[in-house]
Homo-oligomer: A and B are copies of this chain.
Amino acid sequence: MFPKNCWYVACTPDEIAEKPLGRTICGEQIAFFRDGDGKVAAVKDFCPHRGAPLSLGYTEGGGLVCGYHGLKVGRDGKTLSMPKQRVGGFPCMKSYPVEERYGFIWVWTGDADKASSDAIPHLEWAVSDDWAYGGGLYHIQCDYKLMIDNLMDLTHETYVHSTSIGQKEIDEAPVKTEKVGNEVTTSRFMDSVIAPPFWQGNLRTKGLPDDQPVDRWQICRFTPPSHVLIDVGVALAGNGGREAPADKRVNSVVVDFITPETETSHWYFWGMARNFKADDPALTDAIREGQGGIFAEDLEMLELQQKNLLANPELRLLKLDIDAGGVHARRIIDKLLKEENPEAAESSLA
C-alpha cells in the first residue's frame, strides 16, 4: 500500500520520445504517451477490447492505438475509435493526472479530483540557468522505503562508497535530525577534513586545490511522498563552510526521486544538480557516469537486505540516532497512508 494522493516521478521525456511507455507505479500498470498537442498522457495499460497492453501500440491523431486490433484510446481513457466499430458504449478506462515539469513526467495515482499541479515541489535548480542537471534511472528490487532509509543516513557512504564519496569522518560526525511538518532533515558537518576522491575531482574542476583541508557538509531533506534532495559540498576550511564565498567552495544537490513499483521494487531516479560550470555538458556527462557507478554500489546491498527482511519477518531492527531520518520519514508516510486508508497498518520498520 502506498500514499497515492501525491505526485511521483514516473519517467523522463526521453523514455516516451519514440514510443509509448508501459510502467507499473504504485501497483498500477500505466501507459504513458504524448497526445496530439504533445502533452503527456497516462492511461491504464489495458485495452478495453481484449486486455492487450496499450503501451505496445503507437500514437496517432492524439490517441494511443492498441497494437493488437487498432482500438484508439484518448488521454481521458475513453475509446476514441476502432475500425468498423461504434465505440460510444465502450467502457472508459482509468486515466491518471500527469504533468511534465522540470525535465520529469509526474503522475498522480490516487484520487484524480485531488490532483493539483501546485503540489509538485518547486525545484529551483531545474529552472535556473545557473544550474546544470544530469541523472539516470535504476530499477531496484526492494521496498522503496529501504532506499529512503539509505539516503537519509549517509553513514553508509563510509562503507558502501569507500573509494569515492565515503570517508571515515562521516560516521564519526554526529548527525542532527529535524522534523518540521512533513519534512525531515538530517545534517552532518565535517570540518577540516581531506576531501574524498569525488570531491577532490570537483575541486579541481573548479580550479581549487584538492589537497587542502575542507569543511564538508551533507544536508538530506525528505519530503513526501518519497523525495530526498541532498545539499552536499565542500569549502576550503575556515571560510564558513556551506556559507563560504562561491570561489571557496564547490557544492551540488543530489537528487533522488524514489517511485514505488510494487511492495518490494521501485524506480530510482537519481541525479546531481550543480551550480558551477553549468554550461559544460561534457562535465555533466562525466559527473553522471561517476554518480551512476557510485549509486550502483548500493543495489546489491539493498536487494539482499530486502531478501533478508522477507526471510526474517520476526526480527525487529534497531532504530539508532543515525536512523532517525528514515524512521521519521516512514512515520510521515504512515500518516499519509492512514489519512488515505484509515484501516492501514503501520510500516513495519517505522
Contact = CB atoms under 8 A, between A and B. Distances in A.
A305 interface: yes
Interface residues of A, number: 48
Contact of A84 (B70, B159, B172, B311): B172
Nearest to A298: B68
Interface stretch (A8-16, A47-55, A192-200, A280-288): A47-55
A155 B52 contact: no
B50 A323 contact: yes
A73 to B, nearest CB: 13
A104 interface: no
A69 B301 contact: no
Contacts of A317: 48-51
Contacts of A172: 83-84
B83 A53 contact: no
A290 interface: no
A52 B323 CA distance: 14
B304 A70 contact: no
A320 interface: yes
Nearest to A168: B83
Contacts of A321: 84-85
Contact of A45 (B66, B153, B308, B309): B308
A48 B305 contact: no
A174 B85 CA distance: 10
A84 B57 CA distance: 56
Interface of A: 29, 45-46, 48-53, 56-57, 65-70, 82-85, 90-91, 149, 153, 155-156, 158-160, 171-172, 174, 300-301, 304-305, 308-309, 311-312, 315, 317-318, 320-323
**3 nearest A-B residue pairs (beta carbon):** A83-B171, A53-B304, A52-B305
